[in-house]
A and B are shown apart, each in its own frame.
Chain A
Amino acid sequence: MDCPATCRKTAAIYRKRILTMKNTFLKLWGMPMLLAALSLFGLIAALLGDGLWDYLGWLALSVPLFLVIRHYYK
């Protein structure tokens, strides 16, 4: 049994599996994490800042709402 060839093959398979796992993680949790981060930023920016920070807060907070409406009526 020649080890080098099979070793290389299994290593390639594992590498591909890890990459697809990373991609599936982002595909599954990427958007939720982004929306959560935007919401938190919006809430805190409007709380701790004035003027410009209020506007940024409104913008950041309305992104999840828009996305929900868009996806529902797509």
Chain B
Amino acid sequence: MYRAFFGIRKVLFLIAQMSMCTGRLGKYRRQSLQYNLEIVLFSTLKCVVFINYLFLLFRLIKNNTFAKKLLMKLKAAKRWFNWHKWTSLICTIFLLYLCITGLPLIFHEEIKHLLEENKKAVITEQKLSLDKLAEIAASRYPGEQVRYAFWDENEKNKVLFDVVDKPDAPYEKSKYLVLNEYTGEVLGAPKTDGLMNIILKLHTDMFLGIPGKLFLGLMGILFMISIVSGIVLYGPIMKKYDFGMVRKNRSKRLQWLDTHNLLGIALTAWMVVVGFTGIINTLSDVILGLWQQGQLAEMTAPYKNQDPLRGNYSSLEQAKLAAENKVKDMKAAVIAHPGTPFTSKHHYAVFMRGNTELTSKLLKPVLIDAKTGLVTDSREMPWYVNTLFLSEPLHFGNYGGPVLKIVWAVFDIFTILVLVTGLYLWIARRRAEKQQLFIAKES
């Protein structure tokens, strides 16, 4: 375009020169009136050309991609802002609820230790047989049977039994007993209706069962969208400023905005990890169902059409030994009796825990035939079950010692601040917009 302008100028100059040299004007060159006329003519020509050039330039700018890009950027920014606003508005109240109920849950173990009796296990020469221990536990509740046996890594020499009337009874009916593995002494009877259990229920499903869990999972998904849109908005807003700037000397609203941005961008990774693992945890029932229909059904396919077991099961102690024999370097973490959701109707399922940090979280099942006591099968869990196994510690923050729990709590409090500042910013913006409308209407 620039070159074109110069081209046109050159052409006009040439025309002017030619007319001066060869035209009728040439004869009168020395006469000042004609000479001035030439100058005036040429100057007007120059002005006309220049104005034309300006018009062309203006039209070019209007059609120009640069202007279009700017307009599209503004529209896109508005769209991202609306996504951020609406996903945040819907999920904030639930996220606040989850952060607040989650805060004491970080210290679940410590608080349980304070509230419940916890005797130490006295060690004698030899551990009692598991069958004997299960008998002692079941005798406490006549007519009822043990259906799960748990070993806690942090509570050595103790075993926790779940005693209930039927293997598939709901969890509310479970009675728990902690026994000394060596002496068989009952060391405690943990309750399932304590304060921490109530807070846990509130946090996981608001006492609404599976629909409640899935609803909270949906809120988690909105939370993820809110974080992503927040990151996209961070770019244009903070482009001209230094990282971490918090303007406290101007309006309150600006201070809260800077705080919201700083906290939000600094905590992004943690919020994404804890939020996403939270969503996965809400899918635990789905994952269990998938495993039952998939790998478990495969492993117990030969038993599919057999009648359910009657009479006594094979020895629990033998089952544990067989499992530990089958998978070396792993210890039993949980044993599920036939008929419970984690195994078939004909097998004990012994879930093994490894020695390393990673393998201690990825439980591996060993299926023992409950009639013969022989190992039926043992496989690595499918990827979606292992994902769930890793999501639980990453969500709770209880895997890295006491300092990690404190760090987790601080992150949680800062997340509450992000949510609260965001809420305040929305309220303040609405108030300001209403004021502007009011002033506009008045004038």
Q: Which chain A residues in 14-49 approach chain B with CB under 8 Å?
A: 24, 27-32, 35-37, 39-40, 43, 46-49
Chain B, residue nearest A60 (CB)? B407
Query: Residues 369-412 of chain B: 1 if any A CB is under 8 Å from the residue's CB, otherwise 0?
Result: 00000000000000000000010011000011101100100110
A65-B414 contact given A24-B239, A47-B393, CB 8 Å threshold: yes
A72-B414 contact given A57-B404, A61-B404, CB 8 Å threshold: no
A71 contacts chain B at the CB level, 8 A cutoff: yes
Question: Is the CB–CB distance between B407 and A61 below 8 Å?
Answer: yes
Question: Is the CB–CB distance between B235 and A28 below 8 Å?
Answer: yes
B238 contacts chain A at the CB level, 8 A cutoff: yes
Distance between Cα atoms of A36 and B399 in the complex (Å): 20
What number of residue pairs across chains A and B have CB atoms under 8 A from each other? 96
Distance between Cα atoms of A72 and B247 in the complex (Å): 9
Distance between Cα atoms of A11 and B71 in the complex (Å): 27
Question: Is the CB–CB distance between A39 and B246 below 8 Å?
Answer: no
Question: Is the CB–CB distance between A28 and B239 below 8 Å?
Answer: yes
Q: Which residues of A contact B270 (CB under 8 A)?
A: 39, 43, 61, 64
A68-B390 contact given A47-B399, A58-B404, CB 8 Å threshold: no
Question: Is the CB–CB distance between A71 and B246 below 8 Å?
Answer: yes
B267 contacts chain A at the CB level, 8 A cutoff: yes
B56 contacts chain A at the CB level, 8 A cutoff: no
Chain A, residue nearest B411 (CB)? A65
Distance between Cα atoms of A31 and B244 in the complex (Å): 9
Chain A, residue nearest B259 (CB)? A72
Question: Is the CB–CB distance between A40 and B401 below 8 Å?
Answer: no
Chain B, residue nearest A40 (CB)? B269
Chain A, residue nearest B236 (CB)? A28
Distance between Cα atoms of A32 and B401 in the complex (Å): 27
Q: Which residues of A contact B243 (CB under 8 A)?
A: 27-28, 30-32, 71
**Minimal beta-carbon separation of B80 from chain A (angstroms):** 16
**CB-contact partner of B263 in A37, A48, A68, under 8 A:** A68
Question: Is the CB–CB distance between A47 and B390 below 8 Å?
Answer: yes
A64-B239 contact given A1-B3, A57-B400, A58-B400, CB 8 Å threshold: no
A67-B394 contact given A31-B243, A74-B246, CB 8 Å threshold: no
A67-B400 contact given A24-B239, A58-B407, CB 8 Å threshold: no
Question: Is the CB–CB distance between B404 and A54 below 8 Å?
Answer: yes
**CB-contact partner of A47 in B242, B263, B265, B357, under 8 A:** B357
B358 contacts chain A at the CB level, 8 A cutoff: yes
Q: Which residues of B contact A50 (CB under 8 A)?
A: 357
Q: Which residues of B contact A64 (CB under 8 A)?
A: 266-267, 270
Partner-A contacts on B (CB < 8 A): 3, 6, 231, 234-235, 238-239, 242-246, 259, 262-263, 265-270, 273, 357-358, 361, 390, 393-394, 399-401, 403-404, 407, 410-411, 414
